[in-house]
Structure formats: structure tokens, C-alpha cells
């Protein structure tokens, strides 16, 4: 069960208990002919409201664990300037760590990224310090593409990364038109991809059942044997279904799922 679902269930349970307490209070007051104290009822519902807004203990622990990952990562890459926000829709620190660790180990010549943001900066910082080629990051949102470019400039990382605005385009894959992905006419990949970082398109992409599924069929010819793919949000049902489709269609990939992190990470390697 997801953390949000658990939280919603706990809030619902708390609301029911608050209602029961207030109803019992009214019944007792009525039976004893005692005047109602509406301040008591207000306080009960106020406590319930405040509870619904507070983080659960699990969420506090997860935030603390992410900070434990982020601080040494910033130190390792000598990052002194403020980065864009992490977590939420943005990449979590443990996902950023996995990207950095993979670049350090594999020294990729070409990194393709689906979805720009703080991960683009972290990858560029890693290339700057530990060597490698370049990261090309795709973004379907022109505003976010410009924002990432501005961040790269602010951090003096333009040499190590390119951000390309590539609007989503409808593709006919396996005679199914219910797929949208970045317009491949907007970018030119003339080298084999060594590392493919997938954190887009977003889950709420309209008229696209599995927004991240097209990444493999569309980029397959550019993914060479030995290449690594890192898929974020792999705990989500949509990404789980996407992985099932990939496993069914591509026997020459090896799939590994890592769950001890914020959102779930899938590590996929082309073995032949």
C-alpha cells in the first residue's frame, strides 16, 4: 500500500473517531440535561484537522533518510550553490545518488535523459568531476526546459549538458496510437546511448496510458549492449505495468528492482 493511501486511511479513521466522540458527547449531555459545550466539539475537530496536516512518523523518517543521502552527495560533487528542489515531482536524493554512482562506475560517453531538472545538474556535476561524455536531457515543457538551462548556466555546467525542448508527439506503436513521447525529430542521437535516465514524461500525460513505455521501442536502436537504463518512480503501478510490457517484449534486457528508496528504482541492462 502506498504512503499516501496509508495516510488517507489514517485520516479517515481519525475523522470517524472524532465524529463518534462528538456524537457520544451530545448523547451524554442530552441524557443528563447538560448544556452543550460547542467549544469541546470545535477542539475535537481542530485536533483532527491538525493531525491530517502533520507528517506521519514514517514520512519524517523518509525525509531524514533523504537528507542523509543528499548531504554527502553535495559534498562529494563539491556543490556549493543552491540546487532546485528534490522529492515530490522532482528526483529524490537516493535516485540522484544512483545516477552519480552509475556514472562513476561506467564512465558513459553519452547519457540520454527523459525529463530534465535537478537530476540533469547532478549528472553534469558528476561528469565534470569524474569524467565522461555529455548528458542530453529532453523536456516536453518549454518553461521547464528553459529553467533547467538557466540552472546549468548558473552552476557553470553548460559544457557538460544540453537541454532540448521536445514536445510530446503521438506514436503508433504495435498499431496502438495511445502512446505519446518526446518528438524524436527535435533531437539527433548520432552515438550509442551508454546510460538512459528515464524520469518522464509525467504520469498525468493526457491520452497516454503508459507515458514512459515508448522510451524503449523508440530508442532501442541507439541502446547498445552493456548500456544501463535507470527508471524512476518504479514503485508506481503505471511504471510496474510498463516494466511488465518491456519484459514481455524484450528478452535481451536484464531487470532489477530496488525498493529500499523513496519511490522505487528499476535498473535495466541490455545484455546482448
Name the residue ranges covered by the structural domains of the chain: 3-54, 78-270
Q: How confident is the model at residue 26 (pLDDT cuts 50, 70, 90)?
A: confident
What is the reported pLDDT for 96?
96
Q: How confident is the model at residue 100 (pLDDT cuts 50, 70, 90)?
A: very high
Residues in the chain: 272
First to last CA, the chain: 36
What is the reported pLDDT for 55?
57
Q: Report how far residue 218's alpha carbon sits from residue 251's, in angstroms, rounded to the nearest whole number.
A: 16
Digit-coded pLDDT (tens) for 66-96? 888 899 999 999 999 999 888 767 788 999 9
Residue 61 has pLDDT above 80, yes or no: no
Residue 119 has pLDDT above 90, yes or no: yes
Calculate mean pLDDT across residues 175-189: 86
Q: What is the residue-averaged pLDDT of the chain? A: 88
Using a pLDDT cut of 70, give the percent of the chain over it: 90
C-alpha cell at 149: 538551462
- The CATH number corresponding to 78-270 among 3.40.50.720, 3.30.450.20, 3.40.50.150, 3.40.50.11540 equals 3.40.50.150
Calculate mean pLDDT across residues 131-151: 96
What is the reported pLDDT for 121?
98
Higher pLDDT, 35 or 160: 160
User: Highest mean pLDDT range out of 68-77, 177-186, 223-232?
Assistant: 223-232
3-state secondary structure 152-217: HHHCCCCCCEEEEECCEEEEEECCEEEEEEECHHHCCCCCCEEEEEECCCCCCCCCCCCCCCCHHH
C-alpha cell at 35: 448544556
Please report where in the chains the cell 516536453 appears, as a residue. 140
Residue 52 has pLDDT above 80, yes or no: no
What is the reported pLDDT for 37?
78
What is the reported pLDDT for 33?
82
On the CB side of 240, CA atoms within 13 Å amount to: 7
Q: How confident is the model at residue 1 (pLDDT cuts 50, 70, 90)?
A: very low
Amino acid at each position: 500500500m502506498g504512503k499516501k493511501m496509508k495516510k488517507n486511511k489514517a485520516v479517515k479513521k481519525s475523522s470517524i473517531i472524532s465524529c463518534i466522540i462528538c456524537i457520544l458527547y451530545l448523547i451524554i449531555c442530552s441524557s443528563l440535561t447538560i448544556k452543550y459545550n460547542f467549544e469541546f466539539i470545535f477542539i475535537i475537530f481542530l485536533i483532527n484537522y491538525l493531525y491530517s496536516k502533520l507528517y506521519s512518523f514514517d514520512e519524517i523518517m523518509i525525509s531524514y533518510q533523504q537528507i542523509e543521502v543528499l548531504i554527502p552527495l553535495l559534498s562529494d560533487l563539491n556543490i556549493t550553490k543552491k540546487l532546485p528542489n528534490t522529492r515530490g515531482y522532482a528526483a529524490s536524493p537516493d535516485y540522484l545518488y544512483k545516477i552519480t554512482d552509475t556514472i562513476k562506475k561506467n564512465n558513459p560517453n553519452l547519457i540520454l535523459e527523459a525529463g530534465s531538472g535537478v537530476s540533469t545538474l547532478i549528472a553534469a556535476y558528476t561528469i565534470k568531476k569524474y569524467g565522461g561524455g555529455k548528458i542530453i536531457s529532453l523536456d516536453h515543457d518549454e518553461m521547464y526546459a528553459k529553467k533547467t538551462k538557466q540552472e546549468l548556466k548558473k552552476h557553470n555546467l553548460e559544457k557538460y549538458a544540453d537541454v532540448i525542448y521536445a514536445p510530446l508527439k503521438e506514436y503508433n506503436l504495435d498499431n496502438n496510437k495511445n502512446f505519446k513521447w518526446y518528438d524524436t525529430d527535435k533531437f539527433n542521437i548520432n552515438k550509442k546511448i551508454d546510460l538512459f535516465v528515464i524520469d518522464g514524461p509525467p504520469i498525468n500525460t493526457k491520452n497516454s496510458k503508459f507515458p514512459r513505455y515508448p522510451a524503449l521501442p523508440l530508442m532501442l536502436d541507439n541502446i547498445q549492449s552493456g548500456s544501463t537504463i535507470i527508471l524512476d518512480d518504479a514503485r508506481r503501478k503505471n511504471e510496474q505495468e510498463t516494466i511488465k510490457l518491456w519484459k514481455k517484449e524484450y528478452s535481451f534486457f536484464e531487470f532489477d528492482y530496488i525498493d529500499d528508496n523513496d519511490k522505487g528504482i528499476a535498473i535495466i541492462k541490455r545484455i546482448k
